[in-house]
């Protein structure tokens, strides 16, 4: 190991749809967080680890900063606040293609309460046709908060990532590697499999499904030849169940095929995936079910 090896914990925070999960996957170098163009796709803190000969960065992805107006949203914001504590650095991600607004001002109030250095990451610069627009946007943020640095990137296109990693490493303390060199995430495969199914539901259904869907793996059977995964997609209303299943089961078949193919790429084994859809009215209001959504607090009880 490098004599001056650096290591530390870095949280990604920002408004919904700023591209935090896309950036996490790009910085780590492989998919560890699901991605969809819907608010609050991320529901828990997800860890991704980047290791080089010079450093190890432990990234923590978080739900978007938003108004906590339901038990689920309160749980998500608790996750965001926890991610601000005891970190070496924060990356505050903004969508550079959006104009600065009141939501941004309120989100910065949360950042201002931390004593942690913060780097402003201006994401989606590939969508900004006139790059000169970035300077007034940076000035807007600079007036409200003294960021440690300002870095334009495109997580989707891989632009600016090397510069961002260098800036992060420069600000980390010297320290040991916390994880083995090949460790990339803290998520069990069972949890990631459920998240991959949820991602395909979000992408395939354009109606009002996002906050109303959750996925739980009921059974996981491994053999040398194949891994069999049995999972339930839960929605809140019968109409949503019809959307997820589709005409003659076509939508559910498409969701299952896409999820299975990606699991096989990520896990490196042949997958048999069995999906069912269940109506679970008001699941977002029930603490036991919210616990079961995060593998760190899974109760193992199906009493919802």
**What is the distance between the alpha carbons of residues 170 and 163, in angstroms, rounded to a whole number?**
11
**What is the distance between the alpha carbons of residues 255 and 246, in angstroms, rounded to a whole number?**
10
Joined together, the tokens standing for residue 282 give: 């008001």
Ordered DSSP codes for 232-253? EEEESSHHHHHHHH-GGGHHHH
pLDDT score for 154 = 96
pLDDT score for 207 = 61
CA angle 78, 80, 86 (to 5 degrees): 100
Which distant-in-sequence residues (6+ apart) come within 8 Å of 266 by Cβ? 30, 31, 192, 196
Ordered DSSP codes for 121-173? EEE-GGG-S-GGGHHHHHHHHHHH---SEEEE-BTTTTBTHHHHHHHHHHHSP
pLDDT score for 6 = 96
Q: What's phi and psi for 78, nearest 5 deg?
A: -60, -40
**Lookup result for tokens 């994880």:** 179
Question: What 3-state class would DSSP assign to 187?
Answer: coil
Q: DSSP letter for 285, please.
A: G
Residue 12, phi-psi category: left (phi > 0), alpha (psi -120 to 50), beta (remainder) = beta
- Label residue 223 exposed, middle or buried (CB < 10 Å: 0-12, 13-18, 19+): exposed
**Lookup result for tokens 């432990």:** 58
Q: Please indicate, yes or no, whether the overall pTM of this predicted structure exceeds 0.75.
A: no
Q: DSSP letter for 113, please.
A: T
Could you tell me which of 70, 51, 50, 68 has the C-alpha nearest to residue 59? 50
Evaluate the CA torsion angle 96, 99, 103, 107 in order and state its sign: positive
Could you tell me which of 153, 162, 235 has the C-alpha nearest to residue 198? 235
pLDDT tens digits, the chain, 304 residues: what are they? 567 899 988 988 888 888 888 898 899 988 877 665 544 444 455 678 899 999 999 888 776 554 444 444 455 555 555 545 567 899 999 999 988 888 888 888 878 877 789 999 999 999 998 888 899 999 999 998 999 999 999 999 999 999 999 999 999 999 999 888 888 887 778 888 988 998 899 888 876 565 678 888 899 999 989 999 999 999 888 888 999 999 999 999 999 999 999 999 888 899 999 999 999 887 666 555 455 555 444 333 333 3
Joined together, the tokens standing for residue 191 give: 């949890």
**What is the distance between the alpha carbons of residues 63 and 21, in angstroms, rounded to a whole number?**
9
**Lookup result for tokens 């997958």:** 271
Could you tell me which of 212, 217, 122, 155 has the C-alpha nearest to residue 31? 155
């Amino acid at each position: 190991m490098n004599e001056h090896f650096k290591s530390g914990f870095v949280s990604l925070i920002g408004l919904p749809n700023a591209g935090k999960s896309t950036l996490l996957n790009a910085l780590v170098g492989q998919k560890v967080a699901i991605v969809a163009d819907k608010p609050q796709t991320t529901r828990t803190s997800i860890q991704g680890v980047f290791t080089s000969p010079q450093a190890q960065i432990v990234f923590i992805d978080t739900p978007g900063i938003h108004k906590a107006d339901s038990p689920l949203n309160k749980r998500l914001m608790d996750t965001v606040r926890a991610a601000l504590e005891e970190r070496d650095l924060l990356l505050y991600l903004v969508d550079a293609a959006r104009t600065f607004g009141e939501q941004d001002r309120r989100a910065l109030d949360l950042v201002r309460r931390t004593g942690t250095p913060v780097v402003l990451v201006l994401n989606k610069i590939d969508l900004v046709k006139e790059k000169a627009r970035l300077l007034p946007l940076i000035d807007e943020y600079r007036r409200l908060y003294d960021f440690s640095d300002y870095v334009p990137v495109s997580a989707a296109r891989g632009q600016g990532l090397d510069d961002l990693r260098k800036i992060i490493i420069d600000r980390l303390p010297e320290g040991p590697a916390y994880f083995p060199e090949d460790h990339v995430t803290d998520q069990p495969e069972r949890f990631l499999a459920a998240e991959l199914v949820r991602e395909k539901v979000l992408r395939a259904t354009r109606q009002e499904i996002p906050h109303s869907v959750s996925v739980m793996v009921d059974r996981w059977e491994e053999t040398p030849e194949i891994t069999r995964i049995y999972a339930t997609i839960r929605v809140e209303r019968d109409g949503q169940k019809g959307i997820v299943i589709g005409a003659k089961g076509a939508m559910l078949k498409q969701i299952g095929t896409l999820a299975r193919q990606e699991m096989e790429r990520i896990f490196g084994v042949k997958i048999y995936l069995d999906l069912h859809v269940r109506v679970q009215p008001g699941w977002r209001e029930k603490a036991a079910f919210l616990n079961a959504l995060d593998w760190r607090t899974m109760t193992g009880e199906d009493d919802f």
